[in-house]
Amino acid sequence: MKKNILAIAALLTASQLIVSCQKQLDVNPRERILETSYYQNQQQAFTGLVAVYDQLGNQSSGYLTKLNLFSSASDDHYAGADSPSDLGDMQAMNNYTVNSLSGAPSYLWSKGFTGVYRANVLLKK
């Protein structure tokens, strides 16, 4: 009885693998757009401009915003949630223990320079 159950399970697994491998996957071509072949028309130039401003507009979502970080480093509010170990990046700002490994300032720094890079590419193209 145990051998029959194992044989049926193996047969079902093998048939599922055979059926699933026959279908060709549809690859999303938007993931393969290269910078060298982009900026060919007005619509692509506009989406490139939107990508530049996306870095500025994205500062208002989530808890890692410039205003929230700067406020946590002042006496405006205390960082954290339920316990002192919550939101470690905010706690580092609140306690003045930020170092090069802290995520929040380096995250905002890299976001700013991503916007500068995108703007330079747009101007170059």
The pLDDT value given to residue 46: 93
What is the number of other CB atoms lying within 10 angstroms of the CB of residue 52? 18
Which pTM value belongs to this model? 0.54
Which 8-state DSSP code applies to residue 35? Answer: G
The pLDDT value given to residue 33: 75
Residue type, 15: S
The pLDDT value given to residue 42: 93
The pLDDT value given to residue 43: 93
Please name the residue that has the structure tokens 């205003």: 67
Consecutive 10-residue averages of pLDDT for the chain (125 residues): 68 64 62 79 91 73 70 69 70 77 73 87 91
In Å, how far are 2, 11, 80, 110 from 6, measured between CA atoms?
6, 8, 52, 54
